[in-house]
Structure 1
Amino acid sequence: MEDVLAVYTRPRDPDYPLVCLDETSKQFLAETRLPIPMKRGRPARCDYEYERNTANIFMMFAPLEDWRHVKVTDRHTAVDYAHVLKELADRYFANAKTVVLVQGNLNIHGKGSLYEAFPAAEARRLVERFEWHYTPKHGSWLDLAESELGVLTSQCLDRRIADKQTLDEEIAAWERDRNANHTRASWQFSTPNARIKLKHLYPAI
């Protein structure tokens, strides 16, 4: 926990950008029968049957850059995760010396995922492009990308969405608006706060 909190106190450095990463899933609920439109004296009617599908959503959030990017994938696998890291390293932060990466400790959030997706030399190159930091077990709330996913969910995803194309379009519009307005994260929690409020988590000496 204190490792992540210390990372958050570092000043902005374009050579070492801070990027937080998290993911969630979204269920599609597509109509299987055409709804009956509203008529005078009768509300619109929708059949209770619907088709379920899911997609995975990766949130990349650089809080000191006022930047976020959301990538929608069909699955949530080590290979999908590895390609997200490659995009961060080679597309979005190609000029950075090292990307400071904060993420949860899921089983796919490791260097081994890069070796599953790419040849060894390429995987090693990508491993060395990152400085790896993990939130503790049951401490995913320390990942600022999780907070940004919460905003995305409440502002954009908290309703029925029928298919991946619609999801992509809605998320892209949300992302453009947040980035254009330079929307920032307001993080107030610090190591001194943790040592007081979470004292029970520390060993007694």
Structure 2
Amino acid sequence: MSETDREVLQKVARSTAAAHREVVRARVLLAAAEGAGNRTIAADHGVSAMTVRAWRSAFATEGLKHWGKVKKGRGRKPSIPAETVAEIVRITTKETPKGETHWSSRSLAKELGVSHSTVHRVWTELGLKPHRVDTFKVSNDSAFDEKVIDIVGLYLNPPEQAVVLAMDEKSSVQALDRTQASLPMVPGRAGTMTHDYKRNGTTTLFAAVDVLTGKVIGQCLPKHRHEEFLKFLKTIDRKVPDDLDVHLIMDNYATHKHANVKAWLEKHPRFHFHFTPTSSSWLNQVERWFRDLTEKNLRRGIFRSVPELIDSIEEYIEANNENPKPYVWTATAESILDKVARARTSLNEQANQN
């Protein structure tokens, strides 16, 4: 057994995704390569000695040439003709029903004269989901490449003697109260709450996530202007040790570039702003933290006043900082730029076709 074959078989043997039969077969061949006898191997791996001999013989004559392939005539025959599959795919991806935006399995089944379960099987096997649509927007920022390289560099290789903060504002956070009392969860029934609510005011949450530790500096303020932004910068200035530079990742909101903010920065040279490209909020890790805050605290919260809302947010931040967990950034700038380049190419091709 060559080293290449051994590496392939070891990978299959450790796999949790490969077919069980292939995993067992790989382990049997590896055991055989170590000199174990057929009966011993069969007993250890739950197969017959005849099966072990057949696998060893096939490997001796063919190696891994036909590994994983099913011999002709074996296995379940496809029950859906290839022509039907091709037609289902073509119509699903190229056409739409009259007056509608997408097909359902029943409407397409009626169109083609097949059962809706047939359509559903083809969609499931090929990963077609006409009922779903993903949102996206490719940034047109002229400095997109430079900004991506800058921000990803801060995530993957942060500067020494500095703290990197992913910062943004969550504006107009509503203090919502339900119109009727909610019912608690009991065995056999989920907790309930009314679908309608009463608005009791709003607040704006300014938050900055330390990308290294996961700790959060947060402050709720009544509005979303440059005056409030300056207050938050002063809060960060007080909480970050004086011997550290502060690198802030943020979006291109006009408040962040106000003349008074620029004047403040000139007096505080340890602060450095890094702006994400336009339409690229996904580059800012604080957006992930905002999502968690919404899911775990705000969405099902009941707040009779703005102070109650603020107290709840501050409690969530305090709990976060007692056991912080940083988000692990793995994507390189090169991989992001390649992906965006492919998206732009696809968009241009689609525009040319239209």
CA positional deviation for 1:123:
5.5
Instruction: Give the aligned length.
Output: 188
Cα distance change of structure 1 residues 37 and 132 upon mapping to structure 2, 3 Å threshold:
closer
Is residue 2:340 matched to residue 1:198? yes
Q: Which amino acid aligns with 1:141?
A: W
Q: Is the 8 Å Cα contact of residues 12 and 64 (structure 1) preserved in structure 2?
A: no
Q: CA deviation at 1:195?
A: 2.6
Distance 1:135 1:201, change over 3 A: farther
1:97 is displaced (CA, Å) by 3.6
Q: In structure 2, what residue type is equivalent to 1:68? A: V
* Greater fraction of residues in strand: 1
Give the TM-score normalised by the residue count of structure 2: 0.48
For 2:222, the equivalent position in structure 1 comes to: 74
Letter in 1 for 2:223: R
The match for 2:250 among 88, 91, 103 is: 103
* Pick aligned residue for 1:146 from 265, 280, 287: 287
What displacement does 1:200 show?
A: 3.9
Query: Retained in 1: the 8 A contact 2:170–2:206?
Result: yes
Alignment CA distance shift 1:177-1:49 (3 Å): closer
Report if the CA contact (8 A) 1:88-1:94 is conserved. Answer: no
Residue 162 of structure 1 is matched in structure 2 by 304
Q: Report the equivalent of 2:153.
A: 6
> Any gaps of 5 or more consecutive residues in structure 2?
1-147, 184-191, 346-354
Q: Relative to structure 1, is the Cα distance of residues 201 and 83 closer, same or farther in structure 2, using a 3 angstrom cutoff? A: farther
Equivalent residue, structure 2, for 1:55: 203
Change (3 A) 1:197 1:52: same
5+ long unaligned stretches in structure 1: 39-43
2:236, 2:243 → 1: CA distance? 10
Helix, strand or coil: the match of 1:60? strand
In structure 2, the CA distance between the partners of 1:45 and 1:202, relative to structure 1 (3 Å rule), is closer
| Structure-2 change in CA distance of 1:202 and 1:96 (3 Å) | farther
Percent identical among aligned pairs is 21
TM-score, normalising length from structure 1? 0.79
The correspondence for 1:124, drawn from 263, 266, 289, is 266
Which structure has the highest helix share of the two?
2
Q: Per-residue displacement from partner, 1:65-120 (whole Å, max 9, x unpaired)? A: 3310221111111000011111112x1113234201110110101262426xxxx6
Q: Pairwise CA RMSD of aligned residues?
A: 2.9
Deviation at 1:183, TM superposition (A): 1.4
Give distance in 2, aligned partners of 1:184 and 1:72: 22
Code of the residue aligned with 2:149 in structure 1: it is E
